[in-house]
Structure 1
Amino acid sequence: MPPALRPVLVRHKELVKFGFVGGTTFLVDNGVWYLLKLTILTEKPTTAKGIAILVATIVSYVLNREWSFRTRGGRERHHEAALFFLISGVAIVINLIPLLISRYVLDLEIPHVSLLVQEVADFTAGSVIGLLLAMAFRFWGFRRWVFPHGYSPDDATPLPVTGDTTAEHRP
């Protein structure tokens, strides 16, 4: 790793970890989506995408809780999980809006366009634009409500709110 980049990555390690989790869930999301879309849900691409996002959301919860935001939290797990899935539910809707617009407002589907144009439009709307919008919302929502700063996940007691970052790095 270039020495000039290391301090930036360390300073933004939660965001970097969140990005890695996002990359992993991107693969899960698209793998499940295309599996469903090209097999049992060929006539319902947005339903297939919604199911795929739900599967990826479950994977995301486990990875974010145990890795990205493991030094945050302090709530009971069921409360934290409920908030996580509430934020993720809103993010699913945000993620689906560009795909719905692409398919049903812009008519970028067969027979109005070729199969190639339909698939490129689906991927761009559902897995690029929708994903980026939902990811920004999730990062903000997770940090704000699900894994708030200032609590230790071990004992649910407030951590010091000073410039001292050593408390943030407790295992």
Structure 2
Amino acid sequence: MSVVESVLARIPQPYRSVAIRHRELIKFAMVGGTTWIIDTALFLLLKNTVLIEKPLTAKIIAVLVATIASYVLNREWSFRTRGGRETHHEALLFFVVSGIGVAVYTAPLAVSRYLLHLSVPDVSLFTQEVADFASGQIVGVLLGMAFRWWAFRRFVFPDEDVRRQVPDRGADEPAPAEAPDRP
């Protein structure tokens, strides 16, 4: 029994049925939570050390690092049975969608800093930090995740059940033939 199956078995009904029906979304959200931690930690580290005067640059770097982790986790776990494209094409689309996602993620921070002027000296340092966190790490992340969920399923991993996981085979059993990738 896999870790996911053992966790699902512990969820009481009727919640278990909902969790099973939305398993892919739950996994995507868990990957998102993991990459949010990576993004947040790196953003705060960079913004408060080497990129003090450049919060957007700090945010972009943090999002890019989190995006690389996101690709690996989403491809191998969240969307492990989806696909329909050659790996290099899939990766390219993933990073294009994620690049657009960077704009979606950073837009609320840009609005906060440069349109609403929620930065020192116009506001206190505390207000600036709260505004940066709320706009960059909450609003931006929620908007970015909603966009990426839609775009990944629509463009990057469009076909269901094309990469079904094969149960463990014996050492002497040959691997089954995989479905051909389409361009």
TM-score greater than 0.5 by the shorter chain = yes
Structure 2 spans left out of the alignment, 5+ residues? 1-10, 164-177
Task: Say if 2:113 is the partner of 1:103.
Answer: yes
Task: Say if 2:179 is the partner of 1:155.
Answer: yes
Checking the alignment, whether the CA contact within 8 Å between 2:97 and 2:148 is kept in structure 1 is yes
Deviation of 1:155 after TM superposition, in Å, equals 1.7
Task: Indicate the residue corresponding to 1:80 in structure 2.
Answer: 90
Task: Indicate the residue corresponding to 2:20 in structure 1.
Answer: 10
Mapped partners of 1:151, 1:75: distance in 2: 13
Mapped partners of 2:52, 2:132: distance in 1: 13
Task: Indicate the residue corresponding to 2:8 in structure 1.
Answer: none
Mapped partners of 2:134, 2:102: distance in 1: 16
Structure 1 spans left out of the alignment, 5+ residues? 159-171
Mapped partners of 1:105, 1:140: distance in 2: 28
Mapped partners of 1:97, 1:39: distance in 2: 22
Alignment RMSD: 1.3
> Pairwise mapping of residues 39-54 of structure 1 onto structure 2 (< 5 A)?
39-54=49-64
Q: Which runs of 4+ in 1 moved over 2 A?
A: none
Matched letter for residue 102 of structure 1? S
Task: Say if 2:148 is the partner of 1:138.
Answer: yes
Q: 2:123 aligns with which of 103, 113, 118?
A: 113
Task: Say if 2:47 is the partner of 1:37.
Answer: yes
Task: Indicate the residue corresponding to 1:64 in structure 2.
Answer: 74
Distance change >3 Å, CA 156–CA 14, structure 1 → 2: farther
Deviation per CA, 1:34-72: give whole Å up to 9, x if none: 110011000000110000000000000000000000000
Mapped partners of 2:106, 2:160: distance in 1: 33
Look up the SS of the partner of 1:83 in the other structure.
helix
Task: Say if 2:95 is the partner of 1:91.
Answer: no
Mapped partners of 1:39, 1:137: distance in 2: 30
Task: Indicate the residue corresponding to 2:174 in structure 1.
Answer: none
Task: Say if 2:29 is the partner of 1:19.
Answer: yes
Distance change >3 Å, CA 66–CA 114, structure 1 → 2: same
Checking the alignment, whether the CA contact within 8 Å between 1:69 and 1:147 is kept in structure 2 is yes
TM-score normalised by the chain length of structure 1: 0.89
Deviation of 1:117 after TM superposition, in Å, equals 0.6
Deviation per CA, 1:120-169: give whole Å up to 9, x if none: 100110011111111011000000010112451342479xxxxxxxxxxx
Deviation of 1:3 after TM superposition, in Å, equals 1.5
TM-score normalised by the chain length of structure 2: 0.83
The count of residues paired between Structure 1 and Structure 2 equals 158
Mapped partners of 2:57, 2:181: distance in 1: 42
